[in-house]
Structure 1
Amino acid sequence: MSTRTVLVTGAGRGIGRATAVRLARSGWRVFGGVRTDVAAKELAAESALITPVELDVTVPEHLAALDRELPERLDALVNNAGIAVAGPLETLSRADVHHQFDVNLVGPLALTRALLPRLRRARGRVVFISSVNGRVSFPFTGIYNASKYAVEAVADCLRVELRPFGVQVALLEPGVVDTDPWHEMDQILDELEAGLDPEHRRLYAPHFAGERRLVERIRKGAAPPERVAAAVERQLTRRRVRPRTAVGADARVILGMKTLLPACGLDAVWTRGIGV
């Protein structure tokens, strides 16, 4: 049996790095998308089965260069790269919105399209790392929520369109994961608030105070990125992928609330959560 091959985007840290390392330890030949030389060296040091490749999913030249980097057959693509643009919706610029969708939706879709010939040859699999935010919207992350809702829509469509070719598509929906942004969240909130004009800063001061309290509570229960990596491996190795998999107890609880509560009930939960 030939060695299975996979491209993992956003492999420089967090979920992507944990996924690349786990799959390499299971015998996969891993191509890990990174954006810096430092990340490439650190990732390569994890395993001889990991080959770092320069990949920013928003840069067309990086996508084109994959033709030289990847084998003719690709068993799997893990679309993990992503960012979160946060802040009150009325304060976000058009450039903020475009950047959020470019990284989380447009880039991964362009990458998937570029690799489909390789995936077809292998009857491979595509895993999108979505989020519980792809099913439930939270205050202060409205544009991020919207991008993940869009990822879910694209994955649902691809799952049906690619089925005749034997290419399976799965979504993973983690809750809070112990990655760098959660460790940096206090500073992120401080910078967001400081960057507002005086009137918006006054209007949203209670929201920011509530967000800080909420972040302090929920990051204590953050799941390790290795838990998401394990879920990725299961979707790549089971006979048929699951269309959607919630990862983490918090994700399952929130999705259960989404099912059971009316919209006004969820609104009340978020309002109480940030104390406004």
Structure 2
Amino acid sequence: MSARTVLVTGAGRGIGRAIALHLARSGWRVFGGVRTDVAAEELTAESDLITPVELDVTVPGHLVALDRALPERLDALVNNAGAAVAGPIETLSSADMHRQFDVNLIGPLALTRALLPRLREARGRVVFISSINGRVSFPFTGIYNASKYATEAVADCLRVELRPFGVQVGLVEPGVIDTEPWHRMDQLIDELEADLDGPHRALYAPHFAGERRLIGKIRKNAKPPQRVAVAVERQLTRRRMRPRALVGADARFILGMKALLPSRGLDAVWAQGIGVRAGTEESTLGPGRDA
């Protein structure tokens, strides 16, 4: 029997790289989507079962070229490629928002649609790498949260729409994972604050200070990318995929808090986490009125 085939996007680093290497070690023939020659060379050096393919999910020409780069039979697609746009929502540009959704939602959907004929033929599987941010929204990552919420909605829809064709769809939802962006998070926060205009910098100074403290605590409990890779393999090999697979005790704890606390209670937890307080002035709508 020939090796099972899988395309893993964003395989050049972090979680995607861990997934590609883990599946290759498990005997999969892996096609790893990368954006640089260096990443391609590094993957090739790791395993003979990994074939790098140039792939930026937001570039239509790359999707067209995949038709020649991939085998006729494709058993699985792992939509891992993604980006995170951070900062107070008030300060984000339209370009920031479009980029966030292009990379995390529109691009992966275009890729999935392009590969569905192969996946239908193989009665294959599609895994979307989401996040606990797709279930619970956190301050300072609002647009990223929104893109992951949308990914979850689309996966739920595809799971039913593709059911008659034998194509299974599932999500993997990690908590905090020890990848390169977390190593430079302090620098990123500094850059975000420095890029704000004066008035916004003053308004959000307490938020940024709180984020710096919180990030230091969260980073200590980050899990290795290998944990996500193992969860992906389970999704690809179990008889019936789980609609959602959480990764990490932190993800399970946060989801439990959302289930137990009312919305205002959860708001208070996040506000306390970054050390900000609600305004004390009375609403101009007057007491007892709803906006």
Which TM bucket (shorter chain)? over 0.9
Name 1:8's counterpart in structure 2: 8
Name 2:132's counterpart in structure 1: 132
Distance 1:2 1:159 in 2: 27
Name 1:79's counterpart in structure 2: 79
TM-score (norm 1): 1.00
How much has 1:71 moved relative to structure 2?
0.8
Name 1:213's counterpart in structure 2: 213
Distance 2:2 2:262 in 1: 50
Is 1:51 the counterpart of 2:15 in the alignment?
A: no
How much has 1:84 moved relative to structure 2?
0.3
Identity of aligned residues (%): 83
Distance 2:146 2:191 in 1: 22
Describe the superposition over 1:208-265 as per-residue Cα deviations: whole angstroms up to 9, x where unpaired.
Answer: 0000000000010000000000000000000010000110000000001111110001
- Equivalent residues in 2 for 1:9-48, closer than 5 Å: 9-48=9-48
Describe the superposition over 1:150-190 as per-residue Cα deviations: whole angstroms up to 9, x where unpaired.
Answer: 00000000000000000000001100000011001001000
Distance 1:124 1:165 in 2: 9
Distance 1:196 1:268 in 2: 26
Name 2:106's counterpart in structure 1: 106
Distance 2:7 2:44 in 1: 14
Describe the superposition over 1:82-104 as per-residue Cα deviations: whole angstroms up to 9, x where unpaired.
Answer: 00000000000000000000000
- Equivalent residues in 2 for 1:252-263, closer than 5 Å: 252-263=252-263
Alpha-carbon RMSD: 0.4
How much has 1:207 moved relative to structure 2?
0.2
Q: Which runs of 5+ in 1 are unaligned?
A: none
Name 1:275's counterpart in structure 2: 275
Amino acid at match of 1:191: E
Name 2:88's counterpart in structure 1: 88
- Secondary structure of 1:171's counterpart equals strand
Describe the superposition over 1:43-97 as per-residue Cα deviations: whole angstroms up to 9, x where unpaired.
Answer: 1111000000000000000000000000111000000000000000000000000
Distance 1:168 1:258 in 2: 28
TM-score (norm 2): 0.94
Greater CA radius of gyration, 1 or 2?
2
Distance 2:26 2:69 in 1: 22
- Equivalent residues in 2 for 1:169-184, closer than 5 Å: 169-184=169-184
How much has 1:2 moved relative to structure 2?
1.8
Q: How many pairs align?
A: 276
- Secondary structure of 2:220's counterpart equals helix
Name 2:236's counterpart in structure 1: 236
Q: Which runs of 5+ in 2 are unaligned?
A: 277-291
Distance 2:216 2:144 in 1: 20
Amino acid at match of 1:12: G
Distance 2:68 2:219 in 1: 41
Moved beyond 2 Å, runs of 4+ = none
Distance 2:245 2:162 in 1: 19
Distance 2:117 2:163 in 1: 14
